[in-house]
Amino acid sequence: DYRFDGGKADAEDERRDPELEAVLFRVLQESLSNVARHAQATLVSVTLVESAGEAVLKIEDDGIGPAALDHPDGRGCGIDGMRERAEAFGGSLTVLPGRRGGTVVRAALPRARTPAHA
């Protein structure tokens, strides 16, 4: 069973960079897929906070934690792909244990693309 509660607080209806939207969508999609397949979570919180220069997407669950994402075959549940997308856009992605258990995926992205340096 899934329940979705949505809200929009003091957000302007301005159009985002389509590439930024694509990165945010893919990170959210993969994170929710990981929660459904691995986390054994009962609650997932998704937050998107945008400022003039940055968009920060945070997906936090109350599941069994990041260890659920460790696989002996090294596939990593798409985390490497999410990180590569974020870094290619000039941002970063972290996956950490939550303060009360579970997993927190945090993607911090510039509002305008600034490609990572090679």
Amino acid at 112: A
Whether the model pTM is above 0.75: yes
pLDDT of residue 74: 46
Tokens found for residue 117:
């340096």
Q: Residue 109 domain-assigned?
A: yes
pLDDT of residue 16: 82
Q: Residue 49 domain-assigned?
A: yes
* 96: nearest Cα among 74, 66, 117, 57: 66
pLDDT of residue 114: 76
Q: Please determine, for residue 66, whether its predicted confidence score (pLDDT) is greater than 90.
A: no
Q: Count up the domains in the chain and report the number.
A: 1
For residue 83, the domain's CATH number is 3.30.565.10
Mean pLDDT of the chain: 85
Burial profile 70-99: b = 16 or more Cβ within 10 angstroms, e = fewer:
eeeeeeebbbeebbebbeebbbebebeeee
Containing domain of residue 50, as a range? 41-118
Q: Residue 27 domain-assigned?
A: no
Q: Residue 83 domain-assigned?
A: yes
7-11, 39-43, 89-93, 99-103: range with lowest mean pLDDT: 7-11
Q: Which three-class secondary structure string do you get for the chain?
A: CCCCCCCCCCCCCCCCCHHHHHHHHHHHHHHHHHHHHHHCCCCEEEEEEECCCEEEEEEEECCCCHHHHCCCCCCHHHHHHHHHHHHHCCCEEEEEECECECEEEEEEEECCCCCCCC
Share above pLDDT 70 across residues of the chain, in percent, rounded to a whole number: 76
Q: Residue 50 domain-assigned?
A: yes
Q: Residue 30 domain-assigned?
A: no
Other CB atoms within 10 Å distance of the CB of residue 2: 7
